[in-house]
């Protein structure tokens, strides 16, 4: 089986800001990335975490049978696509 390797990159820092994650395909990786960005936004932290600057990149493919890694570099998604704008202090009685 082959698994695809992904990292999150901060476009302003121009470097990876996550460890390597493995998924079967881009669709699953993108869904997980989307969920993570939405959770940051729902927690009320998009201003503290530079979500609009984050990007998901494919960096390689791992063959689980041969244990070989084939490198690549491909942009998959921008976090800005998934940012949820939530009103500040909503439902806090203010």
CA geometry: angle at 61 spanning 60 and 63, to 5°?
150
pLDDT digits (tens, 9 = 90+) for 9-68: 999 899 999 899 999 999 999 999 999 988 888 887 656 667 889 999 999 999 999 999
How far, in Å, CA of 85 to CA of 76, rounded? Answer: 22
Q: Between the CA atoms of 58, 4, 43 and 91, what dihedral angle is there, to the nearest 10 degrees?
A: 100
DSSP single-letter state for residue 93:
T
- Kind and range of the H or E run holding 13: none
What pTM was computed for the model?
0.82
pLDDT digits (tens, 9 = 90+) for 59-92: 999 999 999 999 999 999 999 888 766 555 344 4
- Burial class from Cβ neighbours inside 10 Å (0-12, 13-18, 19+) for residue 53 reads middle
Q: What is the pLDDT of residue 49?
A: 67
> For residue 84, what are the contacts with CB-CB under 8 A and spacing of at least 6?
38, 41, 42
């Amino acid at each position: 089986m082959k698994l695809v390797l992904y990292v999150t990159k901060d476009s302003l820092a121009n470097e990876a800001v996550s460890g390597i994650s493995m998924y079967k395909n881009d669709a699953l990786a993108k869904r997980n990335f989307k969920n993570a960005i939405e959770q940051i936004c729902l927690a009320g932290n998009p201003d503290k975490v530079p979500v609009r600057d984050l990007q998901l990149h494919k960096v390689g493919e791992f063959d689980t049978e041969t244990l070989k890694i084939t490198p690549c570099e491909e942009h998959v998604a921008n976090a800005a696509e998934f940012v949820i704008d939530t009103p500040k202090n909503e439902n806090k009685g203010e």
